[in-house]
Structure 1
Amino acid sequence: MNNEVSPLVSIITPSYNQGSFIKETIESVLTQDYSNIEYIVIDGGSKDGTLEILNSYQNSDPRFNFVSEPDRGQSHAINKGLKMAKGKIIGWLNSDDTYLPNAIKKAVESLKEDPNWGMVYGKAYATDKKNKALYPYPVEPFNKNRLFERCIICQPAAFIRKEVFEEVGGVDESFFFCMDYELWMRIAKKHEIGYIKAYLANSRCHDSSKTTLYWKNVGIKECMIASLKNYGKISNMMICDFVNLNYEKGVEWIAQEIKQFEIFEASPKITKMSIYNDSWSRNFLDISVEVNPTKPLYALLMKGKDIQSNKKQLMIYLNGKLIENYTIVDQTSIVLIPSVIDNCSIKVIKNSAVDSIEKQLNNHPSNLKDCVFSVDNIIPLSEQEYEFIQILYKKFDFVRKWLKENRKLNLIDTDS
């Protein structure tokens, strides 16, 4: 590549019903001062006038080509474009973003200067619906540890060697939101990533953009999934973002969601629970808990609804032994359990009939709808999870400090 003065650059744009933005996107590519480009638009079958715009450019500029047909979304469209691309360098520009003047030339020059870089990225602006700059996009010089904590790369300002793009397997089509961030993770594990201080692109923010619509309910969870996939762990910063975005949903909801990501490693899990499909339980509840000896069972977080308001006594049995007579204070309760390092059985009994607890233990009610309380959720907690829950109940402001002090993570790359 060092011997090539102007290597071919392929720009790929996934498109679907972005007719109000795509002309500006196309112009930002075709008016670059770097002429050796091919521009491929992969359209998902737009119905908003996009095709008329695409046809006009295909008829007027030999560097431009497009395909319009139903596809499986943005990630699939990028991979389709990658297969069509003939260039040695790939640019990925969404149909509402734009390049700044000289962007492609600056990226090519930087890749020529450092052949060890598998990709390069620069600075960018976040812009409004009319593409007016709002503020510098939060881009940072490349660092593997910072990439683990958050996405420090602005996708339209990134350019990737095609051989690198293909080597890592293209875009992972299982991701709807953070497919770019997940791609950077995979590239960073095998190749050096370069950074230049020049502004290369605009990332447009508007009411129908993915970031606006899906960051809270989809995006942050996908980032956590991507981190687990590539690093086997999730950063404290990402956990704080997740908690902050969802704090109004309640501590119990956050506790249940976070548990699936094992942020405190192999914590206790429920493997079986005798509960009806509508969440109602008979007057006793059988629970089987899988326990890793390194993370003993420490407490149960229980959320439910007691329909016999004058009978609020729960009896907790661990492996057949009574450990707690518990008075329900509100719908959410946390019951401490003597530290258990082995798989165990727990019975939660609603003491609505004081006459014979043993009878309740040994005899199922004859009427399958003889239910006395509703169980929205029961979450087994390790001691560290329990402490984290207590912090969540206090105030979000304490979460970041507590995680920093109590959840130590090995750095991804101590040399960077």
Structure 2
Amino acid sequence: MNSDDSPLVSVITPSYNQAAFIKETIKSVLTQDYSNIEYIVIDGGSNDGTLEILKSYRNIDPRFKFVSETDRGQAHAINKGIKMAKGKIIGWLNSDDTYLPKAISRAVEALKTNAHWGMVYGKAYATDKENKVLHPYPVESFNKARLFERCIICQPAAFIRKEVFEEVSGVDESFFFCMDYELWMRIAKKHEIGYIETYLANSRCHDSSKTTLFWKEIGIKECMVASLKNYGTISNMMIYDFVNLNYEKGAEWIVQQLKQFNIFGILPKITTMNLYEDFWSPNCLDIFVKVNSHQPLHALLIKGKVIQPDKKRLKVYLNGEVIEECLITDKSFTFIVLMPSESSDCSIQVITNPASIIKQLNDQPSNQRECGFLVDHIIPLSELEYEFIQILYEKVNFVRRWLKGNREMNLFNTDS
């Protein structure tokens, strides 16, 4: 049998302190019915007993090799493994996941049959820490529009031609969480991705897995960064997921976070603001806003706290003209001041009367300053952002429908 009939498959496992799981991972590779493999474990210098396990397998199976040294994380480890790999096909199996029987042979057969596929993936199971099946992993047959909306590929169930890996320059090491999803995006731009209706792998869910620990705080936002990098925009589905995951942090926090992704175009943004380092405003808060002509300034959101209301008032000026005077009646307050403006550069002043006398930052009682209020959020809003935040104030369930009606999505002809 020549190498075309049975091409060498290199399986790469990035590893760090996974002694509880890695033995099962290794066994799932070395017991495959497809024998023409090399198995490379790139360990980041584990100190939990992993190294002893790796050493034992090096003496059992000549197809097994490993390195153990400090690295820059999971993505870096994968790229190191790719450079070492001699195979024509690459499998990427994390140190807590496992292959199902015949996974490699079925993937090889699919790539042999479909020479135009740059990679192939199959179905997978989500399993618990004992590797017992919880439910089928949410995998879908390949579709570019659906990949734009969410990750439809289970990483351990994917096999990639090495030449494709090298062509797209490997895994982007700037990503901590979704380096696999971002890789699929880049591969899909240049190559056809195939799918087979066969279960190939198990993706283990446990208390210390990245999905469990980091999805809410890091994962969803990284997916948005990856989407912006590769598509120039973000799907409505992904925005809704971000809103839903973070809804308890408040509408203002969500709008502030979404500004960096320009989901409604280039939005009004603060360029300078004379806040103190402890987020107290001076008695006269100066705010300078850069505005794009397609998304002019529509309103200013002011959220903050005062020590005692004491009939405090905020007088808001836009380019030297009084726009509104707001009476503070509670210690915590939120105002949205309408100030439609076509100006490209907007100068805003928020004057607090009366001022509060606050200790200086060095906490010297003899050294005091006049302050206005403790700032939670100062957010310039376009008209679409203003409408969006009103929806957020109402109910999170309204967000998806509003996005669909107010955000045109022509990419891949999807109306997600």
- TM bucket by the smaller chain? over 0.9
Q: Which residue of 1 aligns with 2:70?
A: 70
Q: Which residue of 1 aligns with 2:186?
A: 186
CA distance in 1 between partners of 2:257 and 2:346 (Å): 23
Which amino acid letter does the alignment assign opposite residue 351 of structure 1?
N
After TM superposition, the structure 1 stretch with the greater mean CA deviation from structure 2, 65-74 or 335-344, is 335-344
CA distance in 2 between partners of 1:341 and 1:412 (Å): 35
Deviation at 1:3, TM superposition (A): 7.5
CA distance in 2 between partners of 1:298 and 1:312 (Å): 25
Deviation at 1:81, TM superposition (A): 0.4
TM-superposition CA deviations, 1:227-263 (whole Å, max 9, x none) = 0110110111111111111111111111111111111
Which amino acid letter does the alignment assign opposite residue 20 of structure 2?
S
CA distance in 2 between partners of 1:229 and 1:145 (Å): 16
Q: Which runs of 5+ in 1 are unaligned?
A: 354-366
After TM superposition, the structure 1 stretch with the greater mean CA deviation from structure 2, 320-329 or 184-193, is 320-329
Alignment RMSD, CA only?
1.4
CA distance in 1 between partners of 2:273 and 2:282 (Å): 12
1:111 corresponds to 2:118: no
Q: Given that residues 144 and 413 in structure 1 are in contact (C-alpha distance below 8 angstroms), is that contact kept between their aligned partners in structure 2?
A: no
Deviation at 1:368, TM superposition (A): 7.0
Deviation at 1:308, TM superposition (A): 4.2
CA distance in 2 between partners of 1:142 and 1:259 (Å): 31
Q: Which residue of 1 aligns with 2:252?
A: 252
CA distance in 2 between partners of 1:241 and 1:314 (Å): 36
Q: Which residue of 2 aligns with 1:200?
A: 200
CA distance in 2 between partners of 1:296 and 1:382 (Å): 6
After TM superposition, the structure 1 stretch with the greater mean CA deviation from structure 2, 244-253 or 135-144, is 244-253
Q: Which residue of 2 aligns with 1:226?
A: 226
Q: 1:248 to 1:78 in 2, by over 3 A?
A: same
Which amino acid letter does the alignment assign opposite residue 115 of structure 2?
P
Q: 1:78 to 1:3 in 2, by over 3 A?
A: closer
CA distance in 1 between partners of 2:410 and 2:233 (Å): 10
Q: Secondary structure at the match of 1:412?
A: helix
TM-superposition CA deviations, 1:336-364 (whole Å, max 9, x none) = 112334211111111328xxxxxxxxxxx
1:153 corresponds to 2:153: yes
Q: Which residue of 2 aligns with 1:334?
A: 336
CA distance in 1 between partners of 2:155 and 2:73 (Å): 17
Tell me the number of residue pairs that the alignment of Structure 1 and Structure 2 aligns. 400
Q: Which residue of 1 aligns with 2:243?
A: 243
Which amino acid letter does the alignment assign opposite residue 343 of structure 1?
D
Q: Which residue of 2 aligns with 1:264?
A: 264
Q: Given that residues 22 and 96 in structure 2 are in contact (C-alpha distance below 8 angstroms), is that contact kept between their aligned partners in structure 1?
A: yes
CA distance in 1 between partners of 2:11 and 2:328 (Å): 62
Which amino acid letter does the alignment assign opposite residue 29 of structure 1?
V
After TM superposition, the structure 1 stretch with the greater mean CA deviation from structure 2, 161-170 or 241-250, is 241-250
Q: Which residue of 1 aligns with 2:351?
A: 349
CA distance in 1 between partners of 2:236 and 2:384 (Å): 14
CA distance in 2 between partners of 1:265 and 1:85 (Å): 43
CA distance in 1 between partners of 2:58 and 2:225 (Å): 39
4+ runs of 1 displaced by more than 4 Å?
A: none
Q: Secondary structure at the match of 1:194?
A: strand
CA distance in 1 between partners of 2:136 and 2:343 (Å): 51
Q: Given that residues 296 and 383 in structure 1 are in contact (C-alpha distance below 8 angstroms), is that contact kept between their aligned partners in structure 2?
A: yes
Q: Secondary structure at the match of 2:124?
A: strand
TM-superposition CA deviations, 1:7-49 (whole Å, max 9, x none) = 0000000011111111110111011110000000001111111
TM-superposition CA deviations, 1:130-181 (whole Å, max 9, x none) = 1111110000000111000000000000000000001101000010000000
Q: Secondary structure at the match of 1:294?
A: coil
Q: How does 1:7-18 map to 2 (within 5 A)?
A: 7-18=7-18
CA distance in 1 between partners of 2:20 and 2:298 (Å): 56
1:169 corresponds to 2:196: no
Q: Secondary structure at the match of 2:302?
A: strand
TM-superposition CA deviations, 1:363-410 (whole Å, max 9, x none) = xxxx87111322222000000001110000011111111111111111
Q: Which residue of 2 aligns with 1:99?
A: 99
Deviation at 1:306, TM superposition (A): 2.2
Q: Secondary structure at the match of 2:246?
A: helix
Q: Secondary structure at the match of 1:370?
A: strand
Which amino acid letter does the alignment assign opposite residue 209 of structure 2?
S
Q: Secondary structure at the match of 2:369?
A: coil
CA distance in 1 between partners of 2:302 and 2:67 (Å): 54
CA distance in 2 between partners of 1:51 and 1:389 (Å): 52
1:290 corresponds to 2:282: no
Name the % identity: 75
Which amino acid letter does the alignment assign opposite residue 52 of structure 1?
E
Q: Which residue of 1 aligns with 2:132?
A: 132
Which amino acid letter does the alignment assign opposite residue 125 of structure 1?
Y
Which amino acid letter does the alignment assign opposite residue 199 of structure 2?
Y
Deviation at 1:125, TM superposition (A): 0.3
Q: Given that residues 128 and 134 in structure 1 are in contact (C-alpha distance below 8 angstroms), is that contact kept between their aligned partners in structure 2?
A: yes
TM-score (normalised: structure 2): 0.94
Q: Given that residues 298 and 386 in structure 1 are in contact (C-alpha distance below 8 angstroms), is that contact kept between their aligned partners in structure 2?
A: yes
Q: Given that residues 186 and 230 in structure 2 are in contact (C-alpha distance below 8 angstroms), is that contact kept between their aligned partners in structure 1?
A: yes
Q: Given that residues 311 and 327 in structure 2 are in contact (C-alpha distance below 8 angstroms), is that contact kept between their aligned partners in structure 1?
A: no
CA distance in 2 between partners of 1:65 and 1:119 (Å): 24
Q: Which residue of 2 aligns with 1:403?
A: 403
After TM superposition, the structure 1 stretch with the greater mean CA deviation from structure 2, 199-208 or 50-59, is 50-59
